[in-house]
Amino acid sequence: MLLFVGLGNPGERHVGNRHNIGFMAVQAIARAHRIAPWRRRFQGVAVEGDLGGERVLLLLPGTYMNESGRAVAEAARFYKLGVEHIVVFHDELDLPPGKLRVKTGGGNAGHNGLRSISAHIGNDYRRVRFGIGHPGDKDMVQPYVLHDFAKNDKPWVEALCAIAAENAALLAQGRDSTFQNKVHLAMVAKGFGQADEQPQPGD
């Protein structure tokens, strides 16, 4: 069993926020692989299904971002999962918009969702980082992440979530570098990014 966690804030007013791209990505996985129905579990909503021959629980914490670790820890305890079986999908200020990187462990870079999860289960879980860019001023970070994506962002946001979802079985199989590179090449093919920007594993 693996646990795929999308990070975001609950409620209608947050649905389109930059901070909620983790929710968007995990919801896209459920749609692409016809994993349903979502049910209220583990202080959020969850659904269980198969990806790449692996059983996976998709979880969207219903706590606010800074308490995400409570839901993750509850699900991990229930299924007796170690951190190596947990994959967290989240927004990343330090990556340009439309970029995706996968890494294991590392710092939390001020991300309250990651900080909460690390406090509850440790730091060495896998992270799928969705670049949203940086507003350029640290004082603008909170309003930036809690604001909806701009209209001209929608094409790359939808493409990135859809492509990540299509290739999610690779993550379930532990083939993180292959997943990362396939997403990159597919985004380039759709006109987002440059072919010579091939990401390095764990970059």
Longest CA span, the chain: 45
Q: By C-alpha distance, which of 69, 45, 70 is closest to 57?
A: 45
96, two tokens: 């340009």
Is 85 a catalytic site residue?
no
Integer angstrom CA distances of residue 151 from 44, 135, 154, 173, 190:
29, 16, 6, 35, 18
Helix (H) or strand (E) holding 90: strand 86-92
Beta bridge partners of 35: none
How would DSSP label each residue in 94-121? TS-TT-EEEEES---TT-HHHHHHHHHH
Cβ-in-10-Å burial (0-12, 13-18, 19+) of 138 comes to: exposed
User: Which of 8, 98, 116 is CA-nearest to residue 58?
Assistant: 8
- Structure tokens, 98: 């439309």
Residue 97 backbone phi and psi in degrees, to 5: -55, 135
Q: Which residue among the candidates 19, 85, 111, 184 is catalytic per the annotation? A: 19
Active-site amino acid positions: 19
